[in-house]
């Protein structure tokens, strides 16, 4: 039964694929839990930094990163887009959802891109957008604080040149293990309102207005603290986006591999049914041939 042997080989192949996807599902589950825990653990620090941010409001308002206080004349139609995706595929629509946001926010403006993730780099090059920098090689499953600060600092330096009207970060926001949403987050210039919205989303609760009425003695000076706290808050915001993107990637891959495993199980059942039918047809044919042979011998 040659056809039956081919079906058996196919069943074996599908079963092996199911085992692989099951292993990838388990690995992604562990990585997602780790990334989600890190993201959640960073939120209290982000909130405390925002409190410091609110205590030196007047000095912060003079920062070149604050909305409305840019010192250099900017090209109003030029936008810097930071695209965060995965280095690998097999994660469902995770990357495609971010790509849709890139196309939407680059339409009608002169957009240049910084990519974090090999899939983002390939997409930017393929669609003809200008690639300013690529940090895919630095973007691993567990990016360090130093790596994140390096990328964040390079983005701030590009913004301070005055070439870009604004900087947006496009990434996948982690809602839960089964839900992620591609978002475009304004990064520079930063405003207190944007910071409040960001904190509300990452904490899942309403953040009270960032105001403070008490008296603090700040050393060495309020301006020195302001000059340091603004880049620090920006680094925290960017790190949080990286962590959210990583948690979303692992969650999307976990769900994709779970669906693939379930599909392989369904396919094995379908192929087994086809094999059984083919085997039954072959047995029936053989019996018919035997009976026909016996009947022909009777005639002789």
Domain total of the chain: 2
67 in a structural domain: yes
What is the reported pLDDT for 83? 96
Do 95 and 139 share a domain, yes or no? yes
Strands (E), 77-155: 78-84, 110-116, 130-134
Going by the DSSP 8-state scheme, the letter that residue 66 receives in this structure is B
Instruction: Quote the pLDDT of residue 282.
Output: 79
Query: Which pLDDT score is estimated for 209?
Result: 47
Whether 46 is covered by a domain: the verdict is: no
Same domain assignment for residues 267 and 229? no
Cα–Cα distance measured from residue 63 to residue 231, given in angstroms and rounded to the nearest whole number = 10
At 264, which CATH number?
Answer: 1.10.287.80
Asked if residues 101 and 186 have their Cβ atoms less than 8 Å apart, the reply is no
- pLDDT attached to residue 138: 78
**Phi, psi angles (nearest 5°) of residue 109:** -130, 160
Pair 184, 273 in one domain: no
Clarify whether residues 223 and 273 are in a common domain. no
Together in a domain, 246 and 279: no
Shared domain check, 154 and 265: no
The answer to whether residue 201 is domain-embedded is yes
Other CB atoms within a 10 A radius of the CB of residue 117 amount to: 23
Domain identity same for 95 and 117: yes
> How long, in residues, is the chain?
300
Is residue 175 situated within a structural domain? Answer: yes
- Both 270 and 185 in one domain: the answer is no
Rounded Cα distance between 122 and 104, Å, is: 18
> Do 117 and 137 sit in the same domain of this protein?
yes
CATH number for the domain including 156? Answer: 3.40.1380.10
Question: Does a structural domain hold residue 200?
Answer: yes
- On whether residue 134 sits in a domain, the answer given is yes
pTM of the model: 0.79
Rounded to 10 deg, the angle between the 222-299 and 94-105 helix axes is 130
Q: What's the CA gap between 29 and 256, in Å, rounded? A: 11
Cα separation, 148 vs 240, whole angstroms: 10
Q: List the chain pLDDT tens, one digit each, 300 residues.
A: 556 778 788 888 888 888 888 888 888 888 777 776 776 666 676 666 666 665 655 656 667 777 765 545 555 678 999 999 999 888 888 999 999 999 999 888 889 999 999 999 999 999 999 999 999 887 777 778 888 889 999 999 999 888 898 999 999 988 887 888 999 988 988 876 666 666 666 655 554 544 545 555 656 666 666 667 778 878 888 888 888 888 888 888 888 888 888 888 888 888 888 888 888 887 887 887 777 777 777 765
Question: Could you tell me if residue 204 is inside a domain?
Answer: yes
The confidence score (pLDDT) of residue 79 equals 93
Q: Indicate whether 156 belongs to any domain.
A: yes
Edge-first strand listing for the sheet containing 78-84: 130-134, 110-116, 78-84, 166-176, 179-188
d(CA 131, CA 153): 18
Residues 146 and 270 in one domain: no
Same domain, 100 and 245: yes
Q: Using the Cα atoms of residue 246, residue 178, residue 31 and residue 196 in order, give the sign of their dihedral.
A: positive
- Show the domain range for 245: 59-254
């Amino acid at each position: 039964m040659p056809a039956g042997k081919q079906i058996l080989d196919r069943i074996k192949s599908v079963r092996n694929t199911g085992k692989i996807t099951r292993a990838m599902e388990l690995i992604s589950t562990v990585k997602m839990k780790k990334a989600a825990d890190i993201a959640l653990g960073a939120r209290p620090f982000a909130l405390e930094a925002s409190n410091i941010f609110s205590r030196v409001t007047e000095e912060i308002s003079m920062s070149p990163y604050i909305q409305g206080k840019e010192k250099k004349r900017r090209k109003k139609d030029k936008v810097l887009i930071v695209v965060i995706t995965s280095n690998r595929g097999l994660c469902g629509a995770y990357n495609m959802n971010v790509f849709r946001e890139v196309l939407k926010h680059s339409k009608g403006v002169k957009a240049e891109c910084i990519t974090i993730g090999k899939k983002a780099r390939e997409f930017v090059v393929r669609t003809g957008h200008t690639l300013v920098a690529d940090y895919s090689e630095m973007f691993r499953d567990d990016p360090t604080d130093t790596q994140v600060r390096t990328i964040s600092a390079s983005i701030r330096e590009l913004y301070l040149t005055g070439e870009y009207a604004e900087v947006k970060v496009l990434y996948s926001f982690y809602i839960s293990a089964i839900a992620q949403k591609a978002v475009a987050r304004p990064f520079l210039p930063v405003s207190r309102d944007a910071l409040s919205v960001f904190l509300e989303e990452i904490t899942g609760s309403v953040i009270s207005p960032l105001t403070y009425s008490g008296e603090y003695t700040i050393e060495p000076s309020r301006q020195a603290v302001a000059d340091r706290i603004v880049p620090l808050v920006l680094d925290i915001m960017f790190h949080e986006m990286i962590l959210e993107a990583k948690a979303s990637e692992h969650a999307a891959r976990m769900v994709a591999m779970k669906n693939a495993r379930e599909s392989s199980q369904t396919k094995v059942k379908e192929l087994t049914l086809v094999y059984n039918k083919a085997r039954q047809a072959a047995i029936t044919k053989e019996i018919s041939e035997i009976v026909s042979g016996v009947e022909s011998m009777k005639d002789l």
